[in-house]
């Protein structure tokens, strides 16, 4: 049995660019015909957006476990997001949620972010917490409620302009709980009308992302239940409306990488919310339960990257209840870096040849070869090249940031969840 010291040293070597790990890996990859410089270049250009709501106290509907040091306001959430970017090198934007991140002066929030090397990314409206939305928001039967919901969406278009964002990211809690409660089709028409007004108000440079979810908080039907429902609404709205795939929002049997491929082929894959469906929603660290699935999603994305310039916004949608929040976010980012790295290593020519030859398992094993590669030294090297940390979690712990903000902020104020 190996001693703990030896194992720790090995772990450290894998996450470091020093010593034999990186040299060994890059040599092995080069021998396999991989253009290592090109792979590293692609990894350096990876972009992942973190969510402001992931830094505050949030929880399940059963309990919230408050943590010391969580941000007290949107400015502190931005500061935490900037720190995650500093350590990982690939998270230069943070998504905001209105009204949780409502401030008097959005220009000031933008300036604060920019002073920390960050930009504000997607603006997410909140149409699920007001008592008036009991029976829905943009699908509600009452035109006054739909007006209120639409006005909030229009407010978010203005906020996006003020914070320098060009993405409006929409998720609706709309749906019904009982058969017969309302008309599916009339609700759909109401949604299309409201979103049509919002779409027309967006500047040419702005995109609208539509997120689907099969259940919760409505359990009989959901107005945007799946990719098809979202896609057809996008098609009615216009080219700048695209589907957002939240990994948490799928039934267990759904093949998400297939959905991804399909939306890519339609030119309507606008973005991701990374997490995992094991929780039935967000909150579980992406890549922690099923890293192979995450890899397969990236295999489709890399395949499309070769012949398309389509913009896709890669965002994390996670809020952590029992884990240290910043460490959880950093680990999520690292898992995404590794999934992308492995997907970049797939021998596309061998895959193509195996497919053409009808070599079912040869094709499958080509994917397994890439997946089985330990890419941690490569990711560490790329992070270092970006001026970030080879081992971001160790660097975060050593920095004393968590202790410092715990002393300054105390209990914090939560992200707006109640
Ligand atoms: C609710 O399911 C949800 O998790 C959606 O995924 C949204 O993107 C997120 O909340 C933020 O509103
Ligand atoms: Mn989401
Ligand atoms: Mn969700």
User: Three-state secondary structure along 371-408?
Assistant: HCCCCHHHHHHHHHHCCCCCCHHHHHHHHCHHHHHHHH
Does domain 46-343 bear CATH number 3.40.190.10?
no
User: How far does the centroid of ligand 2 lie from the alpha carbon of residue 29, in Å?
Assistant: 36
Q: Is the CB of 317 under 6 A from ligand 1?
A: yes
- pLDDT at residue 416 greater than cutoff 70: no
Mean pLDDT value across residues 157-163? 98
Atom of ligand 1 nearest to the CA of 248: 6
Please tell me the predicted confidence (pLDDT) of residue 1. 36
| Dihedral sign computed on CA atoms, order 403, 408, 414, 416 | negative
CA of 312 to the centre of ligand 3 (A): 18
* Nearest ligand by distance to the CA of 99: 1
Instruction: Please state the domain extents for the chain.
Output: 46-343
Neighbours of 129 (CB within 10 A): 13
Residue nearest to atom 8 of ligand 1 (CA): 171
Q: Measured in angstroms, how far is the CA atom of residue 315 from the centroid of ligand 2? A: 9
Q: Is the pLDDT of residue 146 over 70?
A: yes
Q: What is the pLDDT of residue 63?
A: 84
Ligand 1 mutation target, pool 56, 174, 273, most atoms within 8 A of CB: 273
3-state secondary structure the chain: CCCHHHHHHHHHHHCCCCCHHHHHHHHHHHHCCCCHHHHHHHHHCCCCEEEHHHCCCCCCCCCCCCCCCCCCCHHHHHHHHHHHHHHHCCCCEEEEEECCCCCCCHHHHHHHHHHCCCEEEEEEECCCCCHHHCCCCCCCCCHHHHHHHHHHHHHHHHHHHHHCCCEEEEECCCEECCCCCCCHHHHHHHHHHHHHHHHHHCCCCCEEEEECCCCCCCCCEECCCCHHHHHHHHHHHCCCEEEEEECCCCCCCCCHHHHHHHHHHCCCEEEEEECCHHHCCCCCCCCCCCHHHHHHHHHHHHHHHCCCCCCCEEEECCCCCCCCHHHHHHHHHHHHHHHHHHHHCCCHHHHHHHHHCCCHHHHHHHHHHHHCCCCHHHHHHHHHHCCCCCCHHHHHHHHCHHHHHHHHHCCCCCCCCC
Average pLDDT over residues 273-296: 90
**Residue that the structure tokens 């902020």 belong to:** 409
Tokens of 310: 């389509």
pTM, two decimal places = 0.95
Residue from 211, 202, 213, 258 nearest 51 by CA = 211
Please, how many CA atoms are within 13 Å of residue 191, restricted to the half-sphere of its CB?
Answer: 26
Residue ranges with CB less than 5 Å from ion ligand 2: 246, 273, 317
Instruction: Yes or no: say if 201 and 234 are a contact pair by the CB < 8 Å rule.
Output: no
Sorting pLDDT into bands at 50, 70 and 90, what band is 3? very low
Residue 353 banded pLDDT, cuts 50, 70, 90: very high
Ligand 3 mean position, distance from CA 68 (Å): 25
pLDDT value at residue 57: 87
* CA separation for the pair 228, 240 (Å, rounded): 17
CA 249–ligand 3 middle distance (angstroms): 6
Does the CB atom of residue 273 touch ligand 1 within 6 A?
yes
Asked if the model's pLDDT at residue 309 lies above 90, the reply is: no
Q: At residue 273, what are phi and psi to the nearest 5 degrees?
A: -115, 110
Cβ–ligand 1 distance for 282 under 6 Å, the answer: yes
Taking the C-alpha atoms of residue 304 and residue 168, their distance in angstroms, rounded to an integer, is: 24
Q: Assign 7 a pLDDT band (cuts: 50, 70, 90).
A: low
Of 55, 126, 167, 171, the residue with max ligand 1 atoms within 8 A of its CB, to mutate for a pocket test, comes to 171
Q: What is the pLDDT of residue 64?
A: 85
Q: What pLDDT score was predicted for residue 282? A: 62
Closest-CA residue to 52 (of 392, 387, 417): 417
Ligand 1 contact via 171 beta carbon (within 6 Å): yes
Q: Using the predicted structure, report yes or no on whether residue 212 has a pLDDT greater than 60.
A: yes
Distance 300 CA to ligand 3 centre (A): 22
Task: Return the pLDDT at 19.
Answer: 56
> Model confidence over 251-276: pLDDT tens digits?
999 999 999 999 999 999 999 999 99
Q: Are 227 and 213 in contact (CB under 8 A)?
A: no
* Contact criterion met (CB below 8 Å) for 38 and 378: no
Name the band, by pLDDT with cuts 50, 70 and 90, for residue 2: very low
Looking up tokens 């998270």 gives 91
Mean of pLDDT values over 178-197: 98
| 36-52 confidence digits (pLDDT tens) | 999 999 999 999 999 99
- Contacting residues for 325 by C-beta, under 8 A, at least 6 apart: 54, 55, 56, 67, 70, 80
Alpha-carbon separation of residue 68 from 26, 62, 397, 406, 412 (angstroms)? 42, 20, 15, 5, 6
Structure tokens at 9: 């040293």
**pLDDT confidence band for 331 (50 / 70 / 90):** very high
Angle ∠(66,68,69) on CA atoms, nearest 5: 125
Write down the pLDDT at residue 15.
61
User: Cα of 166 to ligand 1 centre, how many Å?
Assistant: 19
Q: Ligand 3: distance of its center to the CA of 275 in Å?
A: 8
Best probe residue, ligand 1, of 218, 317, 321 (max atoms within 8 Å of C-beta) = 317
Q: What is the mean pLDDT of the chain?
A: 94
Per-residue pLDDT band for 386 (boundaries 50, 70, 90) equals very high
Res 417 pLDDT > 50: no
Rounded to an integer, the average pLDDT of 281-307 is 91
Kindly state the average pLDDT of the residues 136-143.
Answer: 98
- Is residue 418 over pLDDT 50? no
What is the pLDDT at residue 59? 76
CA of 345 to the centre of ligand 3 (A): 30
pLDDT value of position 12: 64
Is the shortest distance between the CB of 211 and ligand 1 below 6 Å? yes
Among the atoms of ligand 1, which is closest to the Cα of residue 211? 8
Q: Is 391 in the pocket of ligand 1 (CB under 6 A)?
A: no
Across 287-292, average pLDDT: 96
The pLDDT tens digits of the residues spanning 63-116 come to 888 999 999 999 999 999 999 999 999 999 999 999 999 999 999 999 999 999
Within a 13 Å sphere around the CA of 55, how many CA atoms are in the beta-carbon half? 32
Answer for the pair 112, 78: CB distance below 8 angstroms, yes or no: yes
């Amino acid at each position: 049995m190996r001693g703990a010291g030896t194992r720790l040293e090995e772990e450290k070597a894998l996450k470091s660019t020093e010593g034999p790990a990186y040299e060994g890996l890059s040599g092995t990859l080069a021998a396999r015909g991989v253009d290592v410089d090109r792979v590293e270049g692609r990894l350096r250009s990876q972009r992942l957006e973190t969510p402001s709501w992931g830094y505050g106290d949030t929880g399940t509907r059963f309990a919230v476990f408050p943590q010391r040091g969580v941000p007290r306001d949107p400015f502190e959430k931005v500061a935490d997001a900037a720190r995650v970017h500093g350590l990982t090198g690939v998270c230069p934007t943070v998504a905001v949620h209105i009204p949780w991140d409502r401030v008097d002066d959005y220009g000031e929030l933008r300036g604060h972010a920019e002073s920390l090397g960050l930009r504000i990314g997607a603006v997410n409206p909140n149409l699920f917490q007001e008592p008036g939305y009991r029976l829905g928001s943009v699908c509600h039967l009452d035109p006054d409620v739909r007006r209120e919901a639409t006005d909030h969406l229009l407010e978010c278009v203005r906020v996006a302009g003020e914070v320098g964002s060009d993405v409006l990211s929409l998720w609706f809690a709309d749906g019904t709980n009982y058969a017969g409660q309302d008309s599916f089709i009339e609700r759909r028409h109401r949604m299309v009308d409201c979103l049509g007004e919002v779409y027309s108000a967006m500047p040419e440079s702005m995109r609208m992302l539509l997120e689907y979810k099969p259940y919760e908080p409505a359990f009989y039907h959901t107005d945007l239940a799946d990719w098809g429902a979202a896609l057809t609404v996008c098609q009615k709205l216009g080219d700048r409306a695209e589907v957002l795939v939240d990994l948490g929002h799928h039934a267990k049997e759904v093949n998400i990488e297939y959905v991804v491929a399909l939306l890519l082929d339609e030119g309507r894959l606008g973005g991701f919310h990374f997490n995992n469906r094991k929780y039935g929603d967000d909150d579980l660290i992406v890549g922690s339960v099923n890293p192979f699935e995450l890899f397969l999603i990236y295999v489709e994305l890399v395949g499309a990257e070769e012949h398309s310039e389509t913009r896709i916004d890669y965002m994390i949608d996670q809020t952590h209840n029992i884990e240290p929040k910043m460490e959880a976010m950093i680990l999520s980012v690292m898992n995404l870096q590794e999934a992308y790295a492995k997907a970049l290593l797939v021998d596309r020519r061998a895959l193509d040849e195996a497919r053409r030859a009808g070599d079912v398992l040869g094709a499958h094993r080509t994917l397994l070869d890439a997946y089985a590669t330990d890419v941690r030294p490569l990711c560490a090297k790329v992070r270092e090249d970006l001026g970030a940390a080879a081992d971001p979690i160790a660097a975060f712990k050593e920095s004393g940031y968590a202790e410092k903000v715990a002393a300054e902020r105390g209990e914090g104020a939560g992200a707006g969840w109640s």
